[in-house]
Amino acid sequence: MINSKVEAAINNQINAEFWSAYFYLSMSNYFSSIGLAGFANWMNVQFEEEVFHARRFMTYLNERGGRVILKPIDEVQTSWEGPLNVFEETLSHEEKVTGLINELMDIAIKESDHATKSFLQWFIDEQVEEEAGVSEILDHLRLINGEGQGLFLMDKELKTRVFTPPVV
């Protein structure tokens, strides 16, 4: 049976993962509305990843004898100043998620929940990848000042991204 403090923290993280999914879905639709289908695709893949993360947390909680409590998802932003602004906010959000995962790990350590510590290590590693990937796109957007032919080429490249559920 999972510790009640760990269970509550995981339930909070499930809500955060679904909020993140909703946030990225909003960004995807924003990009679609301004004619950047590749950027929209990239954000849609982010949406799918976040749903996958939430489902992993739910499965884990159920496997440990806990109870998943789904909570309302807070409203998300729906418009931005442009692609550069979107990715600045994306990086800031991923840094926040990294903090949430680290806090979860801190709770698991404090509660001596070794199974949860093992489970969370994948998410810690995943956040390193998430921040690096977003930082790279942000660097490229800054190089082209978020506009012009460079934006067109980036849009074309981002259109090729696909969601492949990781084997964990």
* Residue 55: C-alpha distances to residues 30, 68, 122, 160 (Å): 25, 10, 14, 25
Q: What confidence score (pLDDT) does residue 168 get?
A: 77
Classify domain 4-158 at the CATH class level. mainly alpha
Which positions of the chain have pLDDT values less than 70? none
3-class SS shares of the chain: helix, strand, coil, % to 5: 75, 0, 25
The whole-number pLDDT of residue 79 equals: 97
Where in the chain are the domains?
4-158
Query: Which residues have C-beta within 8 Å of that of residue 106, sequence separation ≥ 6?
Result: none
Quickly tell me which residue has 């884990």 as its tokens: 60
Q: What is the pTM of this model?
A: 0.96
**Amino acid 166: pLDDT:** 87
With beta carbons less than 8 A apart as the criterion, state whether 163 and 45 touch: yes
